Structure 1
Amino acid sequence: MLHLSSHDASKRSIILSVRPQVQSAEGALPRVALESTVIAHGLPYPHNLRLARRLEAHVREHGAEPATIAILHGELRAGLTDSELHYLATATTVRKVSRRDLPIVVAQKLDGATTVASTMFIAHRFGIEVFATGGIGGVHRGTVFDVSADLPELAQTPVTVVCAGAKAILDLPATLEWLETHGVTVLGYGTDQFPAFYSRESGLTVDARVDSPAEVAAIVRAKRQLGMTSGLLVCVPVPAAAELPAQAVEPFIQQALSEADQRGIRGKAITPFLLARVSELTGEASLRTNLALLENNARVAAQIAVALTER
């Protein structure tokens, strides 16, 4: 394990730990960041550990090196050993960490699993340009004031995020409006539409369609040349065989939303509740879709990371 620290005196106490990169014949492999909330809080054991291993395997199979992001004993980590993945999958004291939680977890030397926002923040500190996740957070239905921390992170952190759009439980039109207002470019990978997480189409358009990793890489390079500091959102539709059509899943989302309102579930508890409840109502069909899109996004992200190293 290599230990890195900032040269800035104000940041010198922050410990960054990164596993040595695997070497190819040409040199260090490109890296793809993976979040850890899905391991510690998204699935029960042993399904969470199996998924974590599969995601890392998909990245490696497509020529890149996985860097699962987490905080262990207050250290920011990019790349975990298998025993560390097992710890995240089984421990009950791992905190769910978004950007606002980072100084608390670091100062108190706690263990933390990273959300989209905090994974982006940490990945950027390690110089990792590509990040694969499931679906981003966004604007919640019924209120324009409940906005996920994922969105402002996308507006200020230059990481390419590969996802299946925003989670279908959210207000997708409002989420896209927020991204447009704050200058976040949204690409459709092999599609002209913004994917709706479980569903391949939402009826909402993206800023541009791309059909290959090389096209994404060209846009990333153009953003660098322009000096833009926002993230780039690459939206990949869930594989057709695993899709849940929007008209089929929407009634279950509405039921879950109604139950959350009746129970007074709010804030950061709402998304985990809705995803779990939709999974129950669909007989775990939505969970299977979620797993399929996570694995597909890891493959695409690795291909983009490799393309960024080519000229």
Structure 2
Amino acid sequence: MTDLPLSFTPDVRAALDAGRPVVALESTIITHGMPYPQNLVMARDVEQAIRDEGATPATIALMDGRIHVGLDQPTLERLAQASPVMKVSRADLAVCLSTGRTGATTVAATMICAALAGIRVFATGGIGGVHRGVETTMDVSADLHELAATAVTVVSAGAKAILDIPRTFELLETLGVPVIAVGQDTIPAFWSRDAGLPAPLRLDDPAQIAAAARMRRALGIPGGQLVVNPIPAESEIPRAEMIPVVDAALAEAQAQGIAAKEVTPFLLDRIYALTEGRSLTANIALVLSNARLAARIAAAGA
């Protein structure tokens, strides 16, 4: 590990050395998910939610040629206002580091960095997946293959609702990724609690989820597991209400020729406008809920 470009905050290093629970957090939601200063407030609140559950948060970002595992307050504020920032996945992680650029980690990159740092649980909002129109674009997020390769438990509110959700979960099944629903028998759809798809697995106890992760490692099965935690009921935007909003945003993206890594930030921005800010409020609520659950899973020894 000493040869790797890893920089730990003292609290994260101390927690890892002592075997205390640590939860990784991505940084793309800070740099590409919402504007300043809401992004900074959200990042601090999510970290505090993890601390309140007895775990240590480790927000991960790439800065000055180093993988920062945990961000102190000045560094977090610097990241929240940084521009430009690379949106980093598996393909460009090494280039971002070697060139010293500032990079925000997606789900895939956060999983890689967390595993390098010895962190086994990661909380996010929603994972990437199979984009609509994949027949012509071949646009499939690297997050799915990372879940099949890297042994980290990822707690999310499902796949982002802008995606082709049935194909996303079909591909996860093909890749052998366990998808574990919490508290319900259906898969959630990010802003909405129900995507209309049955969940392949259900475990409501964080200790059971942690035990499943340990068993997977003991069996030598590669990859992690995806925990899909529905947004709190009081914060959801029902699926019937979200579908026409997402469709309208997708039509705008297609008309403007938005493609590749620019698609998701564009769509989230348009959906924010079309829902008059409700999507951002819901997004923050689901991230906080996922962070709390991830801390409990980490505390149970995942």
Q: What TM-score do you get using the length of structure 2 for normalisation?
A: 0.95
Given candidates 40, 54, 73, the residue that maps to 1:49 is: 40
Alignment partners' CA distance in 1, 2:103 and 2:247:
31
Match of 1:113 in 2: 104
Given candidates 292, 308, 311, the residue that maps to 2:301 is: 308
Given candidates 240, 246, 254, the residue that maps to 2:239 is: 246
**Equivalent position SS for 1:192:** coil
Structure number with greater CO (CA < 8 Å, separation at least 6) is 2
Alignment partners' CA distance in 1, 2:191 and 2:36:
23
Alignment partners' CA distance in 2, 1:114 and 1:27:
26
What's the CA shift string for 1:224-271, capped at 9, x where partnerless?
111111110000000000010000111111111111111111111111
Q: Which runs of structure 2 are paired with 1:220-299 in the superposition (5 Å)?
A: 220-299=213-292
Matched, 1:36 2:49: no
Q: How much has 1:171 moved relative to structure 2? A: 0.5
Contact 1:139 1:172 (C-alpha < 8 Å) held by counterparts: yes
Alignment partners' CA distance in 1, 2:238 and 2:34:
23
Alignment partners' CA distance in 2, 1:171 and 1:289:
20
Alignment partners' CA distance in 1, 2:181 and 2:262:
29
Q: Which runs of structure 2 are paired with 1:91-110 in the superposition (5 Å)?
A: 91-110=82-101
Q: How much has 1:112 moved relative to structure 2? A: 1.0
Contact 1:129 1:158 (C-alpha < 8 Å) held by counterparts: yes
Matched, 1:163 2:162: no
Q: Which moved more, 1:128-137 or 1:196-205?
A: 196-205
Q: How much has 1:297 moved relative to structure 2? A: 0.4
Alignment partners' CA distance in 2, 1:96 and 1:27:
32
What's the CA shift string for 1:100-130, capped at 9, x where partnerless?
1111111111211111110000000011000
Q: How much has 1:207 moved relative to structure 2? A: 1.9
What fraction of aligned residue pairs are identical, expressed as a percent? 52
What's the CA shift string for 1:126-168, capped at 9, x where partnerless?
1100000000000001214210111111110110000000000
Match of 1:78 in 2: 69
Match of 2:53 in 1: 62
What's the CA shift string for 1:168-219, capped at 9, x where partnerless?
0100100011000010000001111110001101121222111111110111
Match of 2:6 in 1: 16
Matched, 1:130 2:127: no
Contact 2:213 2:224 (C-alpha < 8 Å) held by counterparts: no
Q: How much has 1:21 moved relative to structure 2? A: 3.4
Instruction: Give the aligned length.
Output: 298
The residue identity in structure 1 corresponding to 2:217 is R
**Equivalent position SS for 2:189:** coil
Q: How much has 1:52 moved relative to structure 2? A: 0.7
Runs (4+) off by over 3 Å: 21-24
Match of 2:203 in 1: 210
Q: Which has the higher helix share?
A: 2
Contact 1:161 1:234 (C-alpha < 8 Å) held by counterparts: yes
The residue identity in structure 2 corresponding to 1:82 is Q
The residue identity in structure 2 corresponding to 1:91 is A
**Equivalent position SS for 2:11:** coil
Alignment partners' CA distance in 1, 2:11 and 2:73:
15
**Equivalent position SS for 1:178:** helix
Q: How much has 1:28 moved relative to structure 2? A: 4.5
Alignment partners' CA distance in 2, 1:193 and 1:117:
24
Q: Which moved more, 1:202-211 or 1:244-253?
A: 202-211
Alignment partners' CA distance in 2, 1:269 and 1:39:
15
What is the CA RMSD across the aligned residues, in angstroms?
1.5
List alignment gaps of at least 5 residues for structure 1. Answer: 7-13
Contact 1:21 1:29 (C-alpha < 8 Å) held by counterparts: no
Q: Which moved more, 1:14-23 or 1:237-246?
A: 14-23
